[in-house]
Structure 1
Amino acid sequence: MATSTTQETTSQCNLSELKPFFMDKLMKKIFCFYDEQSLIDVTFKVSNPEAFVPAHRLILSAASPYFENLFNGDRGNALVIEINDIDSDIFERLITFCYTGQALVTVDNVAATLKAAIVLQLEDAATMCMDFIMSHIDECTLQGVYALERETQCELVKRKIHEYEIQNFLEISKRDEFLNFDVEKLQCLIESENLNITCEEDAYGAISRWYNHDVSARQEHLPRLVACLRLTQFDVGFLLTHIQSLPGCELLALQASMWISKPAARSQINSRFTESRTGLDARNTDEKTLLMIYQEDNATKPCVLQYNKPEDKWQKYASINEDSANYNAILKDDNLLFIGGAPYKSASKRFFSWNVINKTWQELREMNQARRLHSVVELDGKIYAIGGRGENDTILQSVERYTAFNGWEFVEPLITARCEAGALSLNGKVYIIGGSNGKTLKSVECYNPDSNSWTYCAVMREEYSGLSVAANNGHIYVVGYFKGSPAVERYDPYRNTWNQICSLESNCWRRFFCVSLEYRLWAIGGSVKNETRVEVYNKGYDHDRWVQKSSLPKGDIYSCFVIPVTFLTSK
């Protein structure tokens, strides 16, 4: 018995291994029969233009319920079957799909192919068409997609469009087509846990735009839509200013405000959504916070501070060497990398690191050229040291790049030598912004590592001293001083344009540091009276403003980083 069982098991395993090869061989042979028109048992007569399309009943019946029902019906035994509502070219492509699982789809024929696939109940072919349409939305046009949805009334089409709208909600909500959504469609989107937004205000802004398009007709639907927002994710001020003033939404704003301000009463408050969207949570699973090298005015040496988000306060994380605090620094993985000379000391080639988790120091390979007042940025794991002042206090044009394998190597120099510039990486490129070369610069350069070349971008509207830069939601922000007052500009890399946005409240001559945290732009620095200000840019549907966070005692900021919270709690 044991031998028999072993032989049976071995035989089954061998058959299992052979099955994919057998099926592949079988399908190739079937397609050969079709290609050679061998053993054909049915022919379709198709109009526009007239054509005869041969096929095999068994294959078509297996591929589609439409053909299975056709061949089992009254016309099933006919040798020639007429098809009058599908073009011959499209029909032949879909018959080929039944054999191969593939069909040639283009922008010009995809709509007709989709409608024919729906008629012939070829769900896989219809899915292929919809995937093609959604990946070529600019060519197929969103208006055409919605026309297909209305014409076909197909659940697959509706589902694919809904998935696209969820993923591209911010873009969709700005288009004219969005203004004509019916309330049921919009509610379905706003309810979605996976709605692709950066913050809940994006969803509020979309509702406001839709509502304001036809206030009288849509006023009765407004509370229904607002109730789908995650109202408890707004602050109380926003609820009272924006939500409470909406017709019929007073109670919703009051309930959400109480839920936020009175935790003990939450069990008695009837609120539909009290947690943030799971889709938004999934994009923020690696929670981040701020880490700053800072020295209070009356302190003898700097320290490392971390930001406690739940309590909106700064607390000491570690002490740090006074000399190292002055170096140009960047965060890479779990290390702070200190590169080059201090701002008001001699230029240096030095390169060393401080591990945030273990709080240990390590010397690394020196740069080729001594620098100070230079810019440092990371792109694709490589560190760039850009411009600055050299050993003879000359303003540098050179740029060098560091990798662990090759050390420091020179790359293409800047077009314009500069120091004290802002630098960042965005969309696979390095940007160097402003700075000085004897006079304050407005110019901006962009480095493409693929071509090892720098090109000029549009110049800023003004020239700024003490500037800091950060990338946020696909744009570049510059925060600095213009004629003694703080000012902020935003750059759109796709349009290559700059525009000015509202300024901060801080007005003292101290450098800002800009960072992007939780899709928001943070500006840290400047001072009012005896405080170092911390402000967050809040861009809403109908406002642009800076919101103040917990301040610090008056002092100097040497650098600021966005860092995973786990780095600070792992030890």
Structure 2
Amino acid sequence: MATSCTQRPTLQSNSTALNHFMEKLMTKIFCFYDEQSLIDVTFKFANSTAVIPAHRLILAAASPYFANLFNGEQGNNPVIEINDIDSDIFERLIAFCYTGQTLITVSNVGAMVKAAIVLQLDDAITSCVDYLMTHIGEYTLQAVYTLERETQCELLKQKIIEYEIQNFMEISQSNEFLNFDVERMQRLLESDNLNIAREEDAYDAIKRWFNYDVPARQEQLPVLIACLRLIHFDDDFLFTHIEPLPGCELLAYKALLWTSKPEVRTKINVRFTEPRAISGTNCVGKTIIAVCSSINPKLLQYNKAEDKWEEYASLKYKSQWYRTILKDDDLLFTGGNKKGESLNIVRSWNIRNKTLQNLPAMNQARDEHCVVELDGKIYAIGGSEGNKTLSSVERYTTSDGWKFVNSLIVGRFLASAVSLNSKIYIIGGYNNDKYLKSIECYNPDSNTWTFCTRMTGFHTEPATAAHNGHIYVLSNKDDNCLVERYNPQEDTWSKICSLEVSGNLLAVVSLEKKLWAIGGISAGKTCVSVYDEENDHWEQKRSLPEKDITSCFVVPKALLASK
């Protein structure tokens, strides 16, 4: 029985002494656990031969579940049977009770969350949820939603909301978004921190959600439209987009009245009068970086305010025909060719710190291939090795490294690839010295490739980008850049306005709801062109000081702040 003579106040008066004492105490306790010394309870499992020894006092102190268990009818039993938790997961969480940490992986984190909830280990739940959200690309967003529904974990629910707010543009294009209930939609749209470039982006998301099930959602539409910052739309937008929506006429009228007659604002009920707090990582705070030349490339960044390009960094990288992709804060350089030999190397260059490091090598050496990201995973597709055209495809995750997935139907190199709507599309390229019009679509759920409708023209070393729900394909032919647009919902192609440039057009990106074509030569200068979709023509921006553009990416301006 504890008494008042316990010297806790004295220890607290000297934090160094207290920390030293607690460190020695916990080290000794874990040694007892590790050596199975002074064990007073053992757990066994119905479907396993494993047994897990432990100390009641430690477990009871770590979790109300164990405190109640040991004070209940089974409390004095030397052996207690556990029926609803896997023995391996249980053992990991017992270790957490002793050390405050345990091994969490993408493959076990779901089971860990469920078991930690059962065992009432709040700190373990927090560790698992934090791990889950930082590895959401590998675990997949759909699996996170399923886990939240199964567990009803409040912490996970809150973290998902924060993730949805920060990644709203990506979330709003997912299939899961279409099945959000109106309460979830309202919670997101009301957020002052919703990470969007313009208020029109929130409107577009509402329309996509609404059009998915118009009869069932017609009455709910005004509730969501009222969450928009309506007074920050111009009058034309209110007239042409808001006022025609069923049940939204009064909302549009109030917003118009607010902006046109300031003297009556006190009599008008408008929910939101201030603009959203735009964060530094949204599209307003994004710009383009261009990777120029293959060997020892330069990085240029676009200064939108002054419409000019500035050098950001240069790299020492002595290979060619590699492919580059943006992953978080890093540019990944995959494969390539050096002195006539195809490479399987992968190197990661951190944009912020300007440091280069090696990543696990691909299984297949390849150059002139495609590389694309989908759900946080990197795919290396096709390419060539020496004189051999490759059809192999491999996928990289931080947990498993590179693993082969199903191969292309038709091997190809100098093609282009893009991800859209949770699928990968590989377009054009060469096979046996022949140009390809074909396009293949990869479904990661079934691990299968299928053909889509062929392009109408041949595209030499095409540049592609996903933009406004379509795939744009650009390539040069006879001093003119041909442009086609693919509709994945209808599996159809259409031609749009050509771009009058010559030479190789090597990059195309989507920024601020506009399509940017980087590269090609006109009047001796490297062009930067922006597509005006409404009028079907290209506008010219400030040209680049470099000619050889190998790739371009959209990045947060804050990422380049260390320049």
CA contact (8 A) 2:189 2:228 kept: yes
Match of 1:545 among 534, 539, 558: 534
Match of 2:189 in 1: 190
Offset at 1:208? 1.1
Report the 3-state secondary structure (helix = DSSP H, G, I; strand = E; otherwise coil) of the residue aligned with 1:51. Answer: strand
Cα 1:195/1:500, change in 2 over 3 Å: farther
User: Equivalents in 2 of 1:254, 1:230: separation in Å?
Assistant: 14
Measure the CA separation in 2 of the matches of 1:209 and 1:476.
18
* Cα offsets for 1:22-59 (capped at 9, x unmatched): 33322221110101111222222332214332211221
Q: Return the offset for 1:251.
A: 0.9
* SS of 2:274 mapped into structure 1: coil
TM superposition shift of 1:132: 3.3
Tell me which moved more, 22-31 or 235-244: 22-31
Contact 2:231/2:256 (CA < 8 Å) preserved in 1? yes
Q: Counterparts in 2 of 1:401-420, with a 5 A limit?
A: none
Question: Secondary structure in 2 aligned to 1:198?
Answer: coil
Matching of residue 166 in structure 1 with residue 155 in structure 2: no
Q: CA deviation at 1:170?
A: 2.1
SS of residue paired to 1:241: helix
Distance in 2, Cα, partners of 1:13 & 1:153: 39
Query: For the residues of structure 1 that align with 2:543 and 2:122, how far apart are their CA atoms?
Result: 57
User: Does the Cα contact within 8 Å between 1:42 and 1:54 map onto a contact in 2?
Assistant: yes
| Residues 46 and 485 (structure 1), Cα distance of their counterparts in 2 relative to 1, 3 Å cut | closer
Q: Using structure 1 for the length normalisation, give the TM-score.
A: 0.54
Q: What corresponds to 2:251 in structure 1? A: 252
Q: C-alpha displacement at 1:185, in angstroms?
A: 1.5
Matched, 1:118 2:120: no
Question: Percent identity at matched positions?
Answer: 56
Secondary structure of the corresponding residue to residue 278 of structure 1: coil
Match of 2:312 in 1: 380
Structure 1 partner of 2:127: 128
Name the CA shift for 1:380/1:199 in 2 (closer, same or farther; >3 Å).
Answer: same
Cα pair 1:47 1:86 within 8 Å, conserved: no
Counterpart residue type for residue 268 of structure 1 = K
The equivalent residue for 2:55 is 56
Q: Secondary structure at the match of 1:545?
A: coil
CA distance in 2, matches of 1:244, 1:171: 27
Contact 2:11-2:18 at 8 Å conserved across structures: no
Provide the C-alpha distance between the structure 2 equivalents of 1:77 and 1:197, rounded to a whole number of angstroms.
Answer: 58
Deviation for aligned residue 1:151: 1.9
CA distance in 1, matches of 2:140, 2:117: 20
2:14 pairs with 1:82: no
Q: Please, what TM-score do these two structures have when normalized by structure 2?
A: 0.54
> Using the alignment, how far apart are the partners of 2:318 and 2:114 within structure 1?
55
CA distance in 2, matches of 1:138, 1:414: 28
Superposed CA deviations along residues 131-150 of structure 1, whole A, max 9, x for unmatched, are 33334445434333222222
Q: Distance in 1 between matches of 2:22 and 2:227?
A: 50
Aligned to 2:276: 277
Q: CA deviation at 1:483?
A: 11
The unaligned stretches of length 5 or more in structure 2 are 1-9, 288-298, 334-347, 350-355, 359-366, 370-413, 417-427, 430-454, 459-464, 487-492, 501-507, 518-528, 546-563
Shift, 1:560, TM fit: 11
Q: Matched residues in 2 for 1:228 and 1:21: separation?
A: 54
Amino acid at match of 2:193: N
Structure 1 residue identity aligned to 2:312 = D
How many Å separate the matches in 2 of 1:489 and 1:264? 51
TM-superposed CA distance for 1:225, in Å, is: 0.9
Do the aligned partners of 1:502 and 1:545 also contact (CA within 8 Å) in 2? Answer: no
Task: Please list the CA deviations of residues 522-546 of structure 1 after superposition, one character each: whole Å capped at 9, or x if unmatched.
Answer: 99xxxxxxxxxxx9978xxxxx436
Change (3 A) 1:277 1:217: same
CA contact (8 A) 1:426 1:471 kept: no
Deviation of 1:226 (Å): 0.9
Q: Which residue of 1 aligns with 2:391?
A: none
Deviation for aligned residue 1:98: 0.8
CA deviations on 1:246-300 (whole Å, 9 max, x unpaired) are: 1001111122223333444433321111222214477589899xxxxxxxxxxxx
SS at match of 1:193: coil
Give 1:178's aligned residue: 177
Residues 262 and 179 of structure 1: CA distance in aligned 2, closer, same or farther (over 3 Å): same
The whole-number CA distance in structure 1 between the counterparts of 2:86 and 2:302 is: 58
Q: How does 1:281-296 map to 2 (within 5 A)?
A: none
Shift in Å, 1:472:
10
Is the 1:243–1:249 Cα contact (8 Å) retained in structure 2? yes
- Cross-structure match for 1:100: 99
Q: Separation in 1 of the partners of 2:541 and 2:87?
A: 72
CA contact (8 A) 2:530 2:541 kept: no
Pick closer, same or farther for the CA change 1:454–1:262 going to 2, 3 Å: farther
Instruction: State whether residues 197 and 284 of structure 2, in contact with CA within 8 Å, keep that contact through their aligned partners in structure 1.
Output: no
- Relative distance call for 1:183 and 1:333 in structure 2 (3 A) is closer
Give the Cα separation in 2 of the matches to 1:482 and 1:23: 73
Matched-pair contact (CA < 8 Å) for 2:42–2:51: yes
Could you say which residue in structure 2 is the equivalent of 1:203? 202
SS of aligned partner of 2:80: strand
The match for 1:236 is 235
2:15 maps to 16
